[in-house]
Structure formats: C-alpha cells, structure tokens
Structure 1
C-alpha cells in the first residue's frame, strides 16, 4: 500500500486526486494541504511514502516545501507543474525531487508515476529529462566536477553522457553494444560513486559538469 500526500491550492484539483487515490487499489490517501508550509508540517507528522507538490502555491510555494521535506530526509517528492514552469522543475530536480508530473496528466499516468517513484526510480521520461536539462542546466561550469575522468571509468562516462542525452537503458545498450543488465550495473555503480538516487539526478550532474561539451 503506497501512501500519498498532495499539496495544491486548487480545491477541485485536490478533490479529484483524493478520489483517484481512494478508489485505486494499492494506494492510501494520506492527506492534503493548500500551501507549502502546511504541507511540510503535515508530511513530517504523517510520513507518507510519496508527496505530490504543486510548484506554485500562495505563501510557501512547492519548491520551498520540497526543500524542507527533502532536507529532513522525508519521502519521495514529485512536483506538479505545467510546461511553462520548466525552470522551476529543473530547480526541484537539483534539490533532490524524484521528478515532475504535468497537472493535466491522465489518471493512469499519475498512478504510474507514483508507483515508479515509490520503487526508487525517477518518473521523468528520458526524452523529457533531456529537454529540460538541455534548456536549463548550466552549459559550462566554472569548475569542472571532480568525477569527470577521475571517479568514473571511460565506459561509465560514455553511459552518463547518453543518459544526459535522453537515451533509455535499452537504447544505451544498443548504442554501446552492451547487454541491458550491464547498463543497469554501470548505472548502479555511478549512483553509489556520485551519491545520487536515480538517473535524473545523474543527468543533472552530467550537464552541470559539461560532459556533453567535451570531446568524446
């Protein structure tokens, strides 16, 4: 049973999501809030598995709430947004949010996203990850990250570049002539080395380090 908490200032939107989770097998609706401050306080008390946070709310917004929740070692966070708020999504990902969900997503997509995040994965589609990072991640860092060429092997650098370009695991395997399980092994190793929890955060690091602009 996955417990889900929702924060959004639109009462009708909250009601629709509440009904969705209450009527779906395998989910428990853990509560709701209309602003970020109340959300952070209630999440700390109720300890849900996954939190859905609207980016824009009056008072304390979703980003501030995500910062508080994640800094306290809280649950997995999904940001609710629209395409015209992409810059906020990028900031949320750097804070450690598991991904984002469009507010007009179909019910099946919402449930899939929550299951995916609860399982420990990022819920951004690879193509969406690439689009966001290509637009908003720093192009050339003032100081290159230490992992570029030091902590990571040449093969791991190849894999992380393809992750940042939006390749799925299967496409990476095809591109590098590796098995799918070998690609997954490389990803798990990099998660440990770079202290990240999913491929979205891995892609953020790759863009920030300027790996896509180096000679391959």
Structure 2
C-alpha cells in the first residue's frame, strides 16, 4: 500500500519538513509540494492523489476553499493541517468535505495514524476541536445529549452517533456494541441518508450541536 500525498503550505520550511517526516514512513509517497490552495486543486485535478494535506491560511486560495474544489472535482481526500484552531475554519472545512482536521503540533505518529485512517475511509477531527465546536455552537461548555429530533433515528443509530461524537472508529464501535464492522457501516450509511450529511465528522457535529455543517 502506497498513499500518494501532496502538501500545500506557503511556508517552505513546513512543506519540506512535512515531506521529510512523511517520507520516513514506507506507506507514504509525497508526490508534490505546492505553495497554495489553487496549485493544490490544479495538481489534484491532473494527477492521481490520495490525500491533499492543506494548510488553512494560504495566498490566492485558502485550504477551506481548496477543500471544496478538490472534493467537487477529484477523488482526492483533503485533510486540513494547521496551527490555527479557529472555529470558522473548522466548520468551513467540515462543510466543504474535509476528511480530517489536525493541528501541526501533533506528534508525527499521530499524523501518520490520522492519514492512514483517512485513506481507509474514516474522517478525523481532534477532540479539542470538537470541544470548541460544542462550546461555540451550543452556547455553553457542556453538551451531554443530542440537540435535535431523535425520533427520526432508531435507538441503535443514536448509540452509534454518540460513539462517533466521542471519536470512536467503526472497529471500536463494533466492539462496544458487539456487532460487526459491516453492520456499523450500514447504520452510518442510514444516518447519512436521513440527515443529508456526507461523512462521520459531520455526524459528530450534528449529534453534539443539532446543526448541519
């Protein structure tokens, strides 16, 4: 398995540093380094790329807008990697279809694991970012229950949504509920169909806030 990655960041030092780090892992192949979101979009449209690792604040086109264009016109999975944990950027990236949102101060192993999870179909968002979303959108520091009409979902679907909001993977959910991974995936598909959402990160935000992003 080789995961083809491009890195978009207007800071040369960060671009080169990330390339060196990721290329130490045999499963990654950093195929290109670009300066901004516009270049990232063009590269993904003309090349076979698995993951686009995007900074948020870049000239010409930021990572949030690049995410939207990449999702609309390619099969590449965008992942936001940034030093900024601003709520607006988080929500914008989620709304536009980002498959992951990570801070640059993560250990290389955590970035590695996150990229592998995204490649295999799991969306990743860090706990501290979900906490910020809960606080900013719910109007308080604690959210302990769903803030939407629960009658449209089965009890099992609500359980799975709760686990997703806690950051559990499909495998971890299946172990907790004693059901197969395929059954978990089927329930998630049903949840997405009922809500019109696109991926599990949006499910987490919806479960915690009752809002669709």
Distance apart, 1:162 and its partner CA: 4.9
**CA shift digits 1:109-163 (9 cap, x unpaired):** 22111111000001224x3463143034467xxxx98x8423x223323432453
- Structure 2 partner of 1:214: none
| Number of corresponding residues | 200
Contact 1:90 1:137 in 2 (8 A): no
Shift of 1:171: 7.6
Evaluate the alpha carbon distance shift between residue 210 and residue 158 of structure 1 in structure 2; reply closer, same or farther with a 3 A threshold: farther
Q: TM-score, normalised by structure 1?
A: 0.77
Residue 168 of structure 1 corresponds to 168
Contact 2:197 2:203 in 1 (8 A): yes
In 2, Cα distance between the equivalents of 1:163 and 1:30? Answer: 32
Q: Distance in 2 between matches of 1:5 and 1:167?
A: 26
- Offset at residue 17 of structure 1 (A): 1.3
SS at the partner of 1:16?
A: helix
The residue number in structure 1 matching 2:29 is 28
Aligned to 1:46: 47
After TM superposition, the runs of 4+ consecutive aligned structure 1 residues lying more than 6 A away are none
Cross-structure match for 2:92: 91
The alignment yields a C-alpha RMSD, in angstroms, of 3.0
CA distance in 1, matches of 2:118, 2:200: 12
Q: Distance in 1 between matches of 2:196 and 2:36?
A: 31
The reply on whether 1:181 has 2:180 as its aligned counterpart is: yes
**SS in structure 1 of the partner of residue 124 of structure 2:** coil
Measured at CA, do residues 107 and 148 of structure 1 come closer, stay the same or move farther in structure 2, by a change above 3 Å? Answer: same
Structure 2 unaligned residues grouped into runs of 5+: 140-146
Distance 1:210 1:110, change over 3 A: closer
1:57 Cα deviation after fit = 0.9
Aligned residues of 2:37 and 2:61 also touching (Cα < 8 A): yes
Take 2:167 and 2:69, find their aligned partners in 1: how far apart are those partners?
32
State the partner residue of 2:69.
Answer: 68
- Which is worse superposed, 17-26 or 155-164? 155-164
Compared CA separation, residues 19 and 46, structure 1 to 2 (3 A): same
Higher mean Cα deviation, 127-136 or 116-125? 127-136
Within 5 A, what are the aligned runs for 1:85-164? Answer: 85-125=86-126, 127-128=127-128, 130-137=130-137, 148-150=150-152, 152-164=153-165
Unaligned runs of 5+ in 1: 212-216
